[in-house]
Amino acid sequence: MNTNFFSLLANTIEERIMNITVRKDDAGCIVVIVSMKSSLDKKKAETLPTLNFKATAAELDEKFFGAIVTPIRSTQAFFTNAGQYEQAVKQATKVNRPAPTKTETAPVDPAIRKYEAQLKKVDELVSLKKYGEALAQLPKLAEYPQFKEAIEQRGEEIRAMDDRLSLF
């Protein structure tokens, strides 16, 4: 027996995976399920319906390829267009991606860094409830006249904490 099943199939499909499931049901009919797979995202490929045929062997011999050619070509066109669309989106994303901008930071004055380091040390001492040492570590008003109000306010806060713990 010589059939041209695979020759017809080879002319119908392109570089895709076609799964064909064939089984015989209880009524003696043959059930054929055809599904197409692609390299596209799995979720996108799963949304495509399968082609389902149920007929006698003679009916399938006569009409099977005529029935699957148009849907298979449509599916292949969909996969091709979807693949081209995904590539175009990736390319457009690359082209339209804004160039990373460098955040310009003003150079911090070493004196300000020293002031901030001293305040950090004061905060650590306050958290350890070493109020006397914290007061001693406060930045000197003569060194940082621009922060006079902040230094005086912080000193008053520390003294108030220290006074709350005093018995007299």
The pair of structure tokens assigned to 44 is: 């996108």
How many other CB atoms are found less than 10 A from the CB of residue 36? 20
In this structure, which amino acid lies at residue 165? L
Q: Residue 72 has which token pair?
A: 């298979």
To the question of pTM greater than 0.85 for the whole model, the response is: no
What confidence score (pLDDT) does residue 118 get? 92
86 φψ region: left (φ > 0), alpha (ψ -120 to 50), beta (else): alpha
pLDDT tens, residue by residue, 88-116? 888 888 877 776 666 667 677 888 889 89
For residue 50, give the DSSP letter: P
Q: For residue 83, give the H/E element and its range.
A: helix 57-96
Residue among 114, 8, 108 nearest 61 (CA): 8
What's the pLDDT tens digit per position in 63-79? 887 887 787 777 777 77
Distance CA 168, CA 166 (A): 6
**What is the distance between the alpha carbons of residues 111 and 166, in angstroms, rounded to a whole number?**
35
Q: Where are the domains of the chain?
A: 5-81, 110-165
Nearest Cα to Cα of residue 22 among 54, 58, 61, 70: 54
